[in-house]
Amino acid sequence: MKTQMLSIDLYKILLFLFAGLISCSSDDLSDLNEVIYVRHANADIPAHIYGNGTSETFIILLHGGPGGSGLDYRIGSYSERLEERYAVVYFDQRGQGMAQGNYDKDEVTVELMAADVDALARVLHHKYGNDIRLFLLGHSWGGTLGSTVMVTENYQQQYNGWIEVSGAHDLPQTYRGAIRQFQTIGSEQIQLGNNMSFWESSLTRVNELDTNTVDFSYINKRAFEAEQKLNDDGFINDRDEENPFLPIKNLIFVNNIITTTIAGTTTAQQLVDNGLESYSVTDQLSSIQIPTLLIWGRYDLVVSPELGTTALNRIASLDKELVVFERSGHSPMITEPDRFVQVVSGFIDTH
Amino acid sequence: MIRLYSIVLSFIFLCFCVCSYAQSNKNISGKSPIEYSLGYFGNSIWNPGLIGGIEYPLKSKTKTKKSGRDITWDFVVTHQLGFYWDPKSHVGAMVNNGIILRKTNSSNRQITYAFSPLNYHRSFLPETYNVDDSGNVSRLKFASRGNYAPSISIGIGKLKENKKTLAHHFKLHIMMLIPYNAGILPSLNLEYGYRFSRRKNDRV
């Protein structure tokens, strides 16, 4: 009898777990909440889809890093408000987040990752119909990847628009631009008498950096510290803390943090080993023909606004705009969410 | 890869033979020495899963310390089936085959060291679409992906007196998924469960 009871309990537990698995998707188009996988070139890559699918407008969001994950960006009020109006697709990218696969280290390249994004676009058209409108939005490293999508073959034809947010489409220029940005903003802050010791020591160290090589190890870490100082002195807005539990929920309840951390770090290193630090698509930006919105923070010390200016000058599309967020650093969607949603929605609704 | 599968299958077959031998080689009381285990398995309480299996004690050795207390070492062969649910991602299932070295002191507290060199792990994915080299999209049924998954684990537990539930245990598993993307993925998992038998525990 006890054996029979044990087997019934086990059956109930199995049923509960299976029910949990299949209940993780919602077919309600007005409130999409599902995960699909894209199998492409020996990788299985998850895309987390949330929001209003009845709009027939899908934003593919490419996370930063490299080494991040799609759901890292489902934070703050900006994502909630975009999801109210559109469907937002948080893509994990090859080797990152919960993506898995079996391929060689040599295959971890920006070009193949761009082909993965193209595969995702095809899947979305296959699943939701050819009438849907697709927009690609890439932040930071996601800007590197998104720009590569835009300049590769006919990939851009699948999209109604390209939104680059603080995008590092030219890594050597990103490095040198960050140094120049440190020099400019550091000098301004010293003149104003703000955080003197921090800015003076930063400028001393930055002025010693070799601009003939690319090494982000010091400047990236220092840039985020600098943004905190600028926030303390009232130049950059506080980070949007609406729904502060969402990032924690995504981190612990949705993603396996051990897997995402180890996989992301490994993939980032493989990208660097395969030449990421000398990667640039600046010379190919002239092939971008579709409407483009460029968004940069005035105080971005990671990817300087000068990259936005370069992109604006090079992109061939006549429908292009650079919007500088005056009270933001590297993540304008978090520090000026109202304006971010307004600018992005305006661009999407126009196209 | 075929060679690896051959080794895994050979080991599983060997384990099956050992179990069969164990079943036929019942002890004096006429009952099998095989023990069973069932427990929670996962990397956190939000990644729930189950693991269960059989354990066959191959050899047992008791030493008496100078203090007069006994220390018993058991050498055990184990085969386990387990699975876990990673929310919003996949269901993982695994077959573990390995050996356990278990130390029991005179107060029935146990420390377990396990090595499972020939494990197989498979991820079962939710809705999955394949995109081929020509850009054609097709939906895959029952998409999954397999990995070789050797593991080591360490655990603590306590024997229970004169009960069919022999012991409860808590283990930490470190499993390597090979290959995983363009490398290897270490995976940490916790196990809490019970070991039981068809006969009452007469070892304490």
**Model confidence over B89-137: pLDDT tens digits?**
899 999 999 999 999 998 889 999 999 998 999 999 999 999 999 999 9
In contact, A291 and A351? CB cutoff 8 Å:
yes
CB contact under 8 A, B181 and A100: yes
- Burial bucket for residue A79 (CB in 10 Å: 0-12, 13-18, 19+): buried
**Is the model more confident about A292 or about B30?**
A292
Q: Kindly report, residue by residue over A227-263, the tens digit of the pLDDT.
A: 999 999 999 999 887 677 777 776 677 778 888 999 9
Model confidence pLDDT, tens digit, residues A40-54:
999 999 999 999 999
Q: What is the pLDDT of residues A149-204, one digit of tens each?
A: 999 989 999 999 999 999 999 999 999 999 999 999 999 999 999 999 999 999 99
Percent of chain B with pLDDT over 70: 78
Nearest CB among B86, B137, B181 relative to A263 is that of: B181
- Specify the pLDDT at position A182: 95
Chain B hits for A263, CB-CB cut-off 8 Å, are 180-181, 185
Where are the strands (E) in chain A, listed by range?
32-40, 43-51, 57-62, 87-91, 100-101, 133-139, 161-165, 292-297, 320-325
Average pLDDT of the residues in A133-151:
98
Two structure tokens written together for A140: 């930071």
Instruction: Give the whole-angstrom CA distance, residue A222 versus residue A201.
Output: 11
Question: In Å, how far is B64's CA from the nearest CA of chain A?
Answer: 37
A104-129 residue pLDDT tens: 999 999 999 999 999 999 999 999 99
Gap between the Cα atoms of A136 and A89, Å rounded: 10
Spatial distance between the Cα atoms of B129 and B135, rounded to a whole number of angstroms: 11
CA distances from A306 to A46, A97, A174, A187, A302 (A): 33, 30, 9, 17, 11
Query: Tens digits of per-residue pLDDT, B158-182?
Result: 888 766 677 889 999 999 999 999 9
Q: How confident is the model at residue A280 (pLDDT cuts 50, 70, 90)?
A: very high
> What percent of chain A stands above pLDDT 70?
91
B36 close to A (CB below 8 A): no
- The predicted structure's pLDDT at residue A15: 46
Interface test with B, best of A9, A12, A15, A21 (most B CBs within 10 A): A21
- Count of CB atoms situated within 10 Å of the CB of A342: 12
Chain B CB contacts of A123 below 8 Å: 129, 131, 137
Is some CB atom of chain A closer than 8 A to the CB atom of B180?
yes
Residue A340 pLDDT > 60 = yes
B2-196 fold: Porin (2.40.160)
CB contact under 8 A, A258 and B187: yes
Q: Over 50: is that where the pLDDT of A5 sits?
A: no
- Tell whether B197 lies on the interface with A, counting CB pairs under 8 A: no
Mean pLDDT, to the nearest integer, of A272-300?
97
CA dihedral A242, A245, A250, A254 (to 10 degrees): -140
Of B88, B128, B181, the CB nearest to A39: B128
The partner residues of B183 in beta bridges, in order of sequence, read B180
- B182: which chain A residues are within 8 Å (Cβ-Cβ)? 95, 103-105, 107-108, 266-267, 270
For residues A63-90, give the mean pLDDT. Answer: 94
Q: How many CB pairs under 8 A join A and B?
A: 126
Domain range summary for chain A, segments of one domain joined by +: 24-172+239-350, 175-232
> Which pLDDT belongs to residue B44?
67
Q: Which of B46, B50, B131 sits opposite A13 (nearest CB)?
A: B50
Chain B neighbors of A21, CB-CB under 8 A: 85, 91, 126
Question: Parallel, antiparallel, or unpaired: how do β-strands B144-148 and B120-124 relate?
Answer: antiparallel
B86 contact A CB<8A? yes
Cite the beta strand spans of chain B per DSSP E.
35-42, 49-64, 70-86, 90-104, 109-116, 120-124, 128-131, 137-140, 144-148, 151-159, 165-180, 183-196
Class of A24-172+239-350 in CATH: alpha beta
Q: Taking CB atoms and an 8 Å cutoff, what residues of chain A touch B180?
A: 100-102, 263
Closest-CA distance of chain A to residue B202, Å: 20
3-state secondary structure (DSSP) of residue A286: helix
Give the CA count within 13 Å in the CB-facing half-sphere of B123.
27
- Please tell me the distance from the alpha carbon of residue A102 to that of residue B123, in angstroms, as a whole number: 13
Amino acid at A325: F
